C-alpha cells in the first residue's frame, strides 16, 4: 500500500512586497510526515489554482492550518473592520467549500486554529474577530515583549497556557483518555456561534471554544483552536491527534 498523501493548504504571502507566493509553515509538514505518517502535499489556497474535486481525487486527507489572516467577516454576515486585517479572501473561498466537500466525501479533515474557524463558518457558524474583547475572556494571542514585539523565544510563544475541558464521552475525550488537557494559545479570532453540524467538544477556562467535531461525518473531521502542529513529536496530546488523523487516512485510501 502506498504512503497516504495529505493536502496542506497554503496561505497568500508576498515576498519583498512584490512577489505573490503561497506559504505553509514547516511544522505542519513535519507533523503530517513524522507523526501522521503521510506525505504532505502543499496546495494553493486559491480556487483559481486549486480545483477541489481534482485535489480530493489526489489526496487521502486535508489539513487546514493556522494563519495570520482572519476569516473575512462577510462570510458570517458581519461588517469588516480594518483593525482586524489582514484577510485572505481567496483562502476563504477555497477552505470553506473544501471543508464541506471533505465531509461530504468522507475525506479526513483536520482543522488547526484558523482551520477550526473555517470549519465552523463552512457549516453556518460565526466568529468573533477578537476574543479578548469579550468580557471575562483572557488574551489568547501570542506573548509579546513590553515594546509590543512578538517574544523571540518560540518555547515561550508556544508554551501551554490554559486548560481545556473536554466533553465526557466525546471524540476528543475518548481519543486522549482524559477530560482535561493543557494547550498553547496563539489566536485573536474565535468561534462565537457554532455552525449547525458543529459539536463543541472542548472549552477553555474562560469559555472559549477550543475543540470541535462535525456531526455525522463518516471520517475524521476534528478541529482544534490551539497549534497542535507545534510539537506532536513530543507532546502526547498533539501526537495522539495527529496519529488518529493518520489512522483515518488508511480508510480514506480505500474509498
Question: 3.40.50.1820, 3.30.565.10, 3.40.50.880, 3.40.50.720: which CATH number matches 5-129+188-253?
Answer: 3.40.50.880
212 with 223: CB under 8 angstroms? yes
What pLDDT does residue 255 have? Answer: 58
What pLDDT does residue 101 have? Answer: 98
Phi (first) and psi of residue 246, to 5 degrees = -60, -40
Reported as a pLDDT band with limits 50, 70 and 90, residue 133 is: confident
Average pLDDT over residues 174-202: 94
- HSE-CB of 155 using CA atoms within 13 angstroms: 0
Average pLDDT over residues 84-89: 86
Reported as a pLDDT band with limits 50, 70 and 90, residue 155 is: confident
> Does residue 254 register a pLDDT over 60?
no
pLDDT over 70 percentage in the chain: 98
> Does residue 106 register a pLDDT over 90?
yes
> Would residue 26 show up in a list of annotated catalytic residues for this protein?
no
**Per-residue cell: 182:** 493543557
Ordered by start, the domain boundaries in the chain are 5-129+188-253
Of the candidates 118, 130, 201, 229, the residue annotated as catalytic is 229
What pLDDT does residue 141 have? Answer: 79
What pLDDT does residue 161 have? Answer: 85
What pLDDT does residue 8 have? Answer: 98
Per-residue pLDDT of 4-32, as tens digits, reads 999 999 998 888 888 989 999 999 999 99
What pLDDT does residue 158 have? Answer: 77
223 with 125: CB under 8 angstroms? no
Of the candidates 128, 140, 187, 227, the residue annotated as catalytic is 227
Reported as a pLDDT band with limits 50, 70 and 90, residue 85 is: confident
160 with 136: CB under 8 angstroms? no
**How many of the other CB atoms lie within 10 Å of CB of 77?**
7
Average the pLDDT over each of 27-36, 90-99, 122-131, 222-231 and give the range with the smallest value. Answer: 122-131
> Would residue 128 show up in a list of annotated catalytic residues for this protein?
no
Per-residue pLDDT of 221-249, as tens digits, reads 999 999 999 999 999 999 999 999 999 99
Q: In what order do the strands lie in the sheet with 209-214?
A: 39-43, 5-9, 61-64, 109-112, 221-224, 209-214, 198-204, 162-166, 180-183
DSSP letter for each residue of the chain: -PPPEEEEE-EEEEETTTEEEEE--HHHHHIIIIIS-SEEEEE-SSTTT--HHHHHHH-SEEEE---SSBPPGGGGT----GGG--B-HHHHHHHHHHHHHHHHHT--EEEETHHHHHHHHHTT-EEES-GGGSTT----SPPB-TTSPBPS-HHHHTS--EEEEEPTTSHHHHHHT-SEEEE----S-EEEE--TTEEEEEEETTS-EEEEEETT-SS-EEEESS-TTSSTTT-HHHHHHHHHHHHHHHHHHT-
Q: What is the pTM of this model?
A: 0.94
- Rounded CA-CA distance 163/168 in Å is 15
Of the candidates 72, 84, 113, 130, the residue annotated as catalytic is 113
Amino acid at each position: 500500500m502506498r504512503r497516504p498523501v495529505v493536502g496542506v493548504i497554503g496561505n497568500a504571502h508576498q515576498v519583498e512586497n512584490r512577489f505573490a507566493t503561497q506559504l505553509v509553515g514547516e511544522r505542519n509538514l513535519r507533523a503530517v510526515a513524522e507523526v501522521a505518517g503521510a506525505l504532505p502535499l502543499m496546495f494553493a489556497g486559491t480556487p483559481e489554482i486549486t480545483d477541489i474535486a481534482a485535489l480530493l481525487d489526489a489526496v487521502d486527507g486535508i489539513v487546514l492550518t493556522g494563519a495570520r489572516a482572519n476569516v473575512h467577516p462577510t462570510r458570517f454576515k458581519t461588517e469588516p473592520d480594518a483593525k482586524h486585517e489582514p484577510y485572505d479572501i481567496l483562502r476563504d473561498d477555497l477552505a470553506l467549500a473544501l471543508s464541506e466537500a471533505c465531509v461530504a466525501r468522507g475525506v479526513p479533515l483536520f482543522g488547526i486554529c484558523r482551520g477550526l474557524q473555517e470549519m465552523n463558518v463552512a457549516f453556518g457558524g460565526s466568529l468573533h474577530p477578537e476574543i479578548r474583547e469579550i468580557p471575562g475572556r483572557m488574551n489568547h494571542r501570542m506573548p509579546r515583549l513590553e515594546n509590543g514585539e512578538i517574544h523571540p523565544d518560540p518555547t515561550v510563544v508556544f508554551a501551554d497556557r490554559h486548560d481545556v475541558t473536554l466533553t465526557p464521552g466525546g471524540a476528543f475525550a475518548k481519543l486522549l483518555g482524559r477530560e482535561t488537557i493543557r494547550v498553547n494559545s496563539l489566536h485573536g479570532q474565535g468561534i462565537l456561534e457554532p455552525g449547525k453540524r458543529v459539536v463543541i467538544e472542548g472549552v477553555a477556562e474562560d469559555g472559549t471554544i477550543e475543540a470541535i467535531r462535525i456531526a455525522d461525518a463518516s471520517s475524521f473531521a476534528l478541529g482544534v483552536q490551539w497549534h497542535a502542529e507545534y510539537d506532536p513529536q513530543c507532546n502526547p496530546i498533539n501526537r495522539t491527534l495527529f496519529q488518529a488523523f493518520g489512522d483515518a487516512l488508511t480508510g480514506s485510501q480505500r474509498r
